[in-house]
Amino acid sequence: MNNREVEKKIKKAYSHITAPDIIDSILSDCETQKGNVVMMEKKNRTPLFKGLALAAMALIIAAGIFGFNYYEMNYKAVSTIAFDVNPSIELKVNSQDRILEVIPLNDDAITVIGDMDLKGSDLDVAVNALIGSMIRNGYLSDLANSILISVENNDPEKAAQLQQLLSDEISQFITTNNFSGAVLSQSITEDQELRNLANEYGITMGKAQLIQQILSMNPLYTFENLSKLSINELNLLINDHNVSNITSTGSASDKNYIGNEQAKQIALQHANVSEANTSYCNVKLDYEMGTMVYEVEFYANGTEYDYDINALSGEVMHVKSEQKTTPTQSTGGNNIPSNSSYIGEAKAKQIALENANVTESVLSYYWIEMDRDDGNIVYEIEFYAGNIEYDYEINALSGEIIKAEKDEEYNGNYSGSTSSGSSSQTSNNSSSGSSSQTTSVTADQAKQIALQHAGLSESQIRDFDIERDHENGTVIYEIDFKSGNYEYEYEVNGTTGAIIQSKKEYDD
């Protein structure tokens, strides 16, 4: 049958079902029956009509379900993935792992994204593009090699899978680009307090969660200061800690800083102490006064020294020295009256070691001294075992433990060696953007200014402490020391060397 025949059949069928023109007849009947009640008989619809109606309804429901599923699959964000280096970027991702939205959270992130339109891209394509841009723009390099990946998804299993997948992919990607990367990854859940902090400081929720965990380990930090640090710097701060819920691969680079060895040598030279004369030395990287610093601690010639060395410039920022007796040797000094009722050093040591659950054979350093504390005669005990520093005060008469502290952040070796050697390469390109104010007066010069004013020589003082601070935009050296029965306090202008304040009082 050709098309013409089909058209003729359709026209014929249409003519048969066309209603006749009977309007006049109907109107006539209506006039005749006016006033009479006409009983209407309800006729059942045919099964065919019912079937068609149900089919239509089923089609509408199916179309709705299809439309809803299509929207859920393609336009609803089921995962939020955040990348932090110093740039902070969030990706909204659908169930097909396609990008719905790319959100830059700071100016560095805008630089990384540039003119790239990643909407609709596969997740792996977008990730490679963003990481590649971070490397090209210098945010990821041999000097700062750490990145934080944070995955938010209502399905913990899906979040864990994405976290592992991205961590493996990025680790492989940045390791093949002329340096070895360090990847931190974590899963996060929506938390309004965390969201508010992230919005306030222009960072991702992932970085905010990492900072909160660091604050729980060291409450001396502040959220505001840590928010300014790059992920590499934060990674260095948690280097010696097991941070919960964080998976870590690779090691954070410290090549942007002077290194442990150079920091140690600066401190020893400043103290005029040779390494051969030290009985122990510990160096670790920390963050103080808005600056990354090396904390250097060592014991030599009856004195314990504590230094803070600027990690970028090598400047001595803080010095504290305290005269102590040779380890395991009693002083018998401090005007402590003799008393046969004292428990003795051996017993005090035993009490401290038993409380710490440490045997003498594992000690790498031990020191004990009798002193007064709030009217009590006490044994002050300090020792190191493994990577832990212990401090005790034991009542000299009763053996009661007055104080027991341990610092698990200690991570040093003894006999004059540091825990690790590092490159001595120096760079002033800190990603945190913090820097030290230039000063005309060094810490050692400030010390000499104070001693000259007090009319004292270095050999006449003890418990010396100097700290570099800022007041109204000016560098100030705060200096404390004791001599004889007096305690001295000084503030010296770090630019001019002028004595801002001096104080001398009886040390009781």
* Residue of 329 and 341 predicted with greater confidence: 341
How many of the other CB atoms lie within 10 Å of CB of 227? 17
* Residue of 116 and 29 predicted with greater confidence: 116
- The mean pLDDT value for 99-122 works out to 92
User: pLDDT per residue over 379-417, tens digit each?
Assistant: 989 888 877 888 899 999 999 998 888 775 444 433 333
CA distance 150 to 184: 9
Task: Identify the residue whose tokens are 């031990």.
Answer: 366
Record the tokens describing residue 300, joined without a space. Answer: 């030599």
Question: What confidence score (pLDDT) does residue 372 get?
Answer: 79
Q: Are 186 and 208 contacting, i.e. CB atoms less than 8 angstroms apart? A: no
Task: Identify the residue whose tokens are 């954070």.
Answer: 252
Question: What confidence score (pLDDT) does residue 347 get?
Answer: 92
Can you give the pTM of this predicted structure?
A: 0.57
| Three-state helix/strand/coil letters over 113-161 | HCCCCCCCCEHHHHHHHHHHHHHHCCCCCCCCCEEEEEEEECCHHHHHH
* Residue of 223 and 29 predicted with greater confidence: 223
Work out the pLDDT band at 373, boundaries 50, 70, 90: confident
Class of residue 75 by CB neighbours under 10 A (exposed 0-12, middle 13-18, buried 19+): exposed
* Residue of 425 and 50 predicted with greater confidence: 50
Residue in 403, 406, 370, 400 with CA at minimum distance from that of residue 385? 406
pLDDT at residue 429 greater than cutoff 50: no
- The mean pLDDT value for 313-320 works out to 88
What's the mean per-residue pLDDT of the chain? 78
User: pLDDT per residue over 24-68, tens digit each?
Assistant: 655 555 555 555 555 555 555 566 666 677 777 777 776 666 665
